[in-house]
Amino acid sequence: MEKIVALCKRRGFIFQSSEIYGGLASTYDYGHYGVLLKNNVKSAWWRTVIQERDDMVALDAAILMHPKVWEASGHLAGFTDPLVQCLGKCKRRWRADHLEPDENGQLRCPECGGELGEAREFNLMFETFMGPVRDDASRIFLRPETAQGIFVNFKNVLQFARKKPPFGIAQIGKAFRNEITPGNFIFRTREFEQMEIEFFVPPADAPQWHQRWMEDRLRWYTDLGIRSDHLHLREHGPDELSHYSAATSDIEYLFPMGWSELEGIANRTDFDLKAHSKASGEDLSYFDPQTEQRYVPYVIEPSAGADRATLAFMVDAYDEEEVAGRKRTVLKLHPRLAPVKVAVLPLVSRDGMPEKARALYKELRELMPAEFDEGGSIGKRYRRQDEIGTPWGVTIDGQTMEDDTVTLRDRDSLDQIRVSISEIGDELLKRLVGDWRSPKLG
């Protein structure tokens, strides 16, 4: 993990938030390449769950919601983690369900070995106040999940999107949780982005859809390059299930700190729609004109974290290799996720090469994210592009000035071929689109 954190800082992917003030714990800012990478993760998700399906629609609900939403959903009473405090030297606070008992079966402070106090339930929702008066009536919450924005819009979508179950609503947005022990870089933070789907189905079909979504979601990660032996599904035990869930499985990834949740896929039953019907007085059932039956749909929820997924893609792509006696660090990101697709590099800064390279760069950047770099030795520039995961490099050299061909270098195989300058755009597009399609065809 330290290597990933160092690379992220060195290459401007991710910085500590408010760093000049000493940093705000477990809060991060995304720099240029980080923004591009996370955007690509999110657009790959949109592409798979919306563009390539006809049973899904998109939504972007507000972060601030009516406080009654959180009462009805059960978050006000039950969205808690068990908090224990060290009574010994360090006084640190821990999440009791994340601690391992010692050989006597007792929980001790992992920092100083001290005794721990009684566990108390700690609500993870951030509170704030709306308007100028700070009283109970104006108390609102930053949403701890995007899902509730979908449930309260179920009726709107049903009316206007011309959909009927089975269909789903997808949303990407920020969520906030006052986590007791955040950590492991962007794995667990107090402010993060979720990519959530609520998929509404006839109750009898829920187990089948749950199974299908687990397979679809697992495949999404492997299609985008994560090694399948670094992923598995883990089913929640009965004591672990959330208050709304009939069954949940997590997609876990082998992070540097061990197997940890990447995405949760839950069968939320009709819990949420029924709870909001009851609390709001709005009927959130569906009448099926074909069977002439009215029912409250069950919900299958694949819920992923955009930041966690970004971290997993980076960890899995990270590689250190020895090439011709020199160490190279490379992010072997799937081309669809790579922040920059092609780097255009003049071999040297003279003899008309920079001008020619810049003209080509201007053409290529209309087709795909491209970068022009003329500073430093060619080896250094390749290494920089390898570290940010750029799949292709195009070099303008002496021969280009004679016959209008360029060198095309592949990040992973390191193969170099010569391509005519007039064909390089088509060649790159072919590779990019080919790479987009190949997982599906394979």
Contact residue for ligand ATP among 149, 264, 302, 425 (CB under 6 A): 264
Contact residue for ligand ATP among 179, 252, 374, 427 (CB under 6 A): 179
Any residues with CB less than 8 A from the CB of 399 and at least 6 apart, and which? 405, 418
Q: Shortest Cβ distance from residue 179 to ligand ATP (Å)?
A: 5
Stretch 119-148 residues interacting with ligand ATP (CB under 6 A): 145
Judged by CB under 6 A, does residue 303 bind ligand ATP?
yes
SS3 111: coil
Q: Shortest Cβ distance from residue 380 to ligand ATP (Å)?
A: 35
Of 148 and 189, which has the nearer Cβ to ligand ATP? 189
The CA R_g of the chain, rounded to the nearest whole Å, is 25
Is the dihedral angle over the CA atoms 237, 242, 243, 245 positive or is it negative?
A: negative
Judged by CB under 6 A, does residue 188 bind ligand ATP?
yes
Contact residue for ligand ATP among 143, 268, 308, 341 (CB under 6 A): 308
The total number of residues shown for the chain amounts to 442
Query: How are beta strands 80-85 and 191-201 bridged, if at all?
Result: unpaired
Q: Shortest Cβ distance from residue 70 to ligand ATP (Å)?
A: 14
Q: Shortest Cβ distance from residue 392 to ligand ATP (Å)?
A: 31
Judged by CB under 6 A, does residue 302 bind ligand ATP?
no
Is 360 in contact with 373 (CB distance < 8 Å)?
A: no
Of 143 and 188, which has the nearer Cβ to ligand ATP? 188
Of 155 and 188, which has the nearer Cβ to ligand ATP? 188
What are the DSSP calls for 133-144, one per residue?
--SGGGEEEB-S
Is 139 in contact with 67 (CB distance < 8 Å)?
A: yes
Judged by CB under 6 A, does residue 218 bind ligand ATP?
no
Q: Shortest Cβ distance from residue 311 to ligand ATP (Å)?
A: 9
**Candidate segments 299-307, 329-337, 363-371, 427-435, binder of ligand ATP by CB under 6 A:** 299-307
Of 188 and 334, which has the nearer Cβ to ligand ATP? 188
Is the dihedral angle over the CA atoms 158, 160, 161, 164 positive or is it negative?
A: positive
**Candidate segments 2-10, 127-135, 298-306, 399-407, binder of ligand ATP by CB under 6 A:** 298-306
Judged by CB under 6 A, does residue 192 bind ligand ATP?
yes
- b (16+ CB within 10 A) / e for 251-283: bbbbbeeeebbbbbbbbbbbbbbebbbeeeeee
Contact residue for ligand ATP among 177, 210, 356, 411 (CB under 6 A): 177
Task: State how far the Cα of 87 lies from the Cα of 116, in Å rounded to an integer.
Answer: 5
Task: State how far the Cα of 383 lies from the Cα of 229, in Å rounded to an integer.
Answer: 28
Judged by CB under 6 A, does residue 210 bind ligand ATP?
no
Extract the runs of DSSP E, i.e. beta strands, from 20-155: 28-30, 56-58, 80-85, 93-95, 120-123, 127-129, 139-141
Q: Shortest Cβ distance from residue 250 to ligand ATP (Å)?
A: 7
Is 210 in contact with 302 (CB distance < 8 Å)?
A: no
Of 145 and 387, which has the nearer Cβ to ligand ATP? 145
Judged by CB under 6 A, does residue 263 bind ligand ATP?
yes
Of 24 and 421, which has the nearer Cβ to ligand ATP? 24
Q: Shortest Cβ distance from residue 267 to ligand ATP (Å)?
A: 13
Residue 131 is given by DSSP the state S
Of 14 and 353, which has the nearer Cβ to ligand ATP? 14
Cβ neighbours around 363 below 10 Å, total: 13
Q: What is each CA distance from 94 to 20, 115, 179, in whole angstroms? A: 28, 12, 10
Least Cα distance to 391 among 433, 337, 436, 351 occurs for 337
Judged by CB under 6 A, does residue 170 bind ligand ATP?
no
Query: How are beta strands 342-346 and 370-372 bridged, if at all?
Result: parallel
Judged by CB under 6 A, does residue 267 bind ligand ATP?
no
Q: Shortest Cβ distance from residue 233 to ligand ATP (Å)?
A: 13
Cβ neighbours around 193 below 10 Å, total: 20
Judged by CB under 6 A, does residue 386 bind ligand ATP?
no
Of 263 and 386, which has the nearer Cβ to ligand ATP? 263
Judged by CB under 6 A, does residue 198 bind ligand ATP?
no
137's tokens = 């009536």
Q: Is 379 exposed, middle or buried (CB count within 10 Å of its CB: 0-12, 13-18, 19+)?
A: exposed
Judged by CB under 6 A, does residue 334 bind ligand ATP?
no
Contact residue for ligand ATP among 59, 201, 304, 364 (CB under 6 A): 304
Q: Shortest Cβ distance from residue 312 to ligand ATP (Å)?
A: 9
Binding site for ligand ATP (CB under 6 A): 145, 177, 179, 188-189, 192, 194, 261-264, 303-305, 307-308
